[in-house]
A and B are shown apart, each in its own frame.
Chain A
Amino acid sequence: MADILSGLATGIAVTFTPFNMMIGFLGVVLGMLFGILPGLGPLNGVAILLPVTFVLPPESSMIFIAAIYYAGTAGGAITSISLNIPGTPMAAATCLDGHPMAKKGEGALAIFTAATASLIGGLLACVGFVFLAPPLARYALFFGPPEFFSLMIVAYACFAGLGGKSVVKTVIMTVFGLILSCVGMDCMTGNVRLTFGYMGFYNSITFLTAVVGMFGIGEVLTTVEKGIRGQVIHPNVTWKDYTLSLKLIWKHKILVLTDTVLGFLVGVLPAAGATPASFMAYGFSKSMSKRPKEWGTGIPEGVMATESSNHAASTGAFVPMVTLGIPGSPLAAIVLGGMLIWGLVPGPRLFIEQPKFVWGLIVCGFVVNILTYVFEISLVPFLMKVLKTPFTIMTPIIAIFCLITGYVQNFGMVEVWEVLVFGVLGYFCKKLDYPVAPLILALVLGPMTEESLRQSLLQSGGSLMIFVTHPISCALLLISAVLYAMPITKSLLDARRKKQEAA
């Protein structure tokens, strides 16, 4: 307990500087913008704006990114409610009851309820983080190369059940990411690999070009193709709606609390993320409700369930990332890559070596949630205007930022072209259900994966048995086997059920 208090004190000292608060506020504004714009979410916001942080100290960077993340998650609800198009994937479940509420003329009530529920979810999850992360980190201190390798296999396996529908496609993307991470100098022997004789590949492929290419340009192309259609429903915003929303939340406090806990736990599970969490919470609370038949017709409980759980999950996703170096969601995978560039090595040592960073992250979680809330509540009418920003203006601006990001990696055209190629590849992958997140994760963790694998093999004299004879490593491999097997068994069972139904 004492170390938690002193940690929090460190975090408060780091967070509450005028500069960091300003950065936090800027992040909230930008995150809100990305969250509200349909087709782009906090994931794209973080991917596109991550390069900005490389001129900031790590603590300020973290606050900036956390602000984009939370504000983006919150902003997505506004789009879901008034446009019936999820502003972000994690707000997709909020459409279910949020949009019917807006149609009934209760749009403002829905937005206020969503904002308050997400504030509660976010804050409580930060408390959970404080108590869960330190013990988890202590446990991981005893890891050697074989354990680290198996841990990374778990990280890759987590995405198998999540990303696309096909496990094989997830494996292809993971492996391709690992191959890309090999391009350039081999850190163990100094040989230059996989260049195809082209000088441009001598400086390896940075994960940033892949991130901005796939999540920036690729995403823009996908959105442009789909086109954004739909009628914005403008709510009449009054303070009466706000007080009413608070009363409703108080009435359903048990629901909000259980969905927060559920969301947090789902978020902590590696790679599950906020989107499945919100759907699970919706389903769970619906089955627990006294009036399950009315869910989906526009009742505030539906909005509370999804928004409290998706915010809690967003926070939970940081727990395995900070403690073990396994990102709990695609977004955490991008942040993980950022951490490496900020000069931080994720994993158990982070808590000991970078207390300022870790506790700063925890405290800024609280601060940013509150900032987002105040910003959102006070500016609802203005935020509704952002919804109408034509995508034709956003497309070139996003593209330019992505391409500049490529350029500044090395001040040459090679990386600019890489961004464009990743953009096109990202577009095709998205359309054909090849998940992009595993590729990014593999590109980030690739060097560590290869190093731990080769070190383990060197230690064992070339025998792969070392991963099975070390108990923790063996357990981790079993977990990943289960993770890979789960979606396969599920699809086999589904196919069998279909056959039986047909028969």
Chain B
Amino acid sequence: MKKAEIYMATFWAGLSIAIMMEIQVIPGTKQPIGWARGVGPQSGWFPFYLALIMLLCSLVVLIPKLVQAAREGLADKPFVSMDGLKAVLRAFGPMLAYVCTLPWLGFYLGSTLYLVYALRFVGKHSWTLSLATGILFSAAIFTIFEKYLLLTLAKGVLEPILNKLL
């Protein structure tokens, strides 16, 4: 847990420095942080000082943890157990694959494949349940979104076929 705490605090500190750089150093994204007549504080003022506060706060979290780690060493209970990590990755992996393939598969084909995979191989449910859920779910969201809400979701390779159904 200690290591994770240190990484997280470092992440916040790094992020706040990056934000301050973005506002003050990087050409092209620079914003004025001073005072302008008639405008008051300029556009970069608020986020810049917020980032400064965030940096200070992350140091308040980070420094005692580092001192503690130097004194007692880093060994303690792990951030996540092996079983826990496996469970999280089994849930997150397919999710990530779903998002990565969205531009090609689209929401409807993608959702069916994702559900069938997640139910059959992660949840170890029967093929019947997995296939039924996957197909019915996609059909349901297709009807709701495209027919009733008139919101067009990405359809990917199925675009020509699905458009005929509308």
Contact = CB atoms under 8 A, between A and B. Distances in A.
B95 A217 contact: yes
Interface of A: 55, 166, 168-169, 171-172, 175-176, 178-179, 182, 186, 188-189, 191, 193-197, 217, 220-221, 224-227, 390, 392-393, 395-397, 399-400, 403-404, 407-408, 411, 413, 416-417, 420, 423-424, 427-428, 431-432, 434, 450, 453-455, 457-458, 462
Contacts of A395: 91, 118, 122
B123 A195 contact: no
B74 interface: no
Contacts of A189: 39, 42-43
Contacts of B61: 166, 168-169, 172
A428 B53 contact: no
A399 B41 contact: no
B99 A450 contact: no
Contacts of A197: 26, 28-29
Secondary structure call for the A interface: helix
Contact of A392 (B51, B60, B123): B123
Minimum-distance CB pairs A-B, first 3:
A392-B123, A458-B40, A191-B43
A396 B115 CA distance: 6
A196 B54 contact: no
Contact of A434 (B8, B54, B83): B8
Nearest to B53: A175
Interface in B14-50: 15, 18-19, 22-23, 26, 28-29, 31, 35, 39-47, 50
A457 B50 CA distance: 16
Nearest to B5: A432
Q: Give the contact-size bracket for chain B.
A: 35 or more
B15 to A, nearest CB: 8
A169 B54 CA distance: 10
B91 A188 contact: no
A197 B58 CA distance: 25
Contact of A176 (B54, B84, B98): B54
A194 B19 contact: yes
A222 to B, nearest CB: 9
A55 B149 contact: yes
Contacts of A182: 46-47, 50
A420 B153 contact: no
B12 A172 contact: yes
A432 B19 CA distance: 23
A453 B40 CA distance: 10
B60 A168 contact: yes
Contacts of B147: none
B12 A220 contact: no
A179 B84 CA distance: 32
Contact of B103 (A403, A413, A431, A457): A413
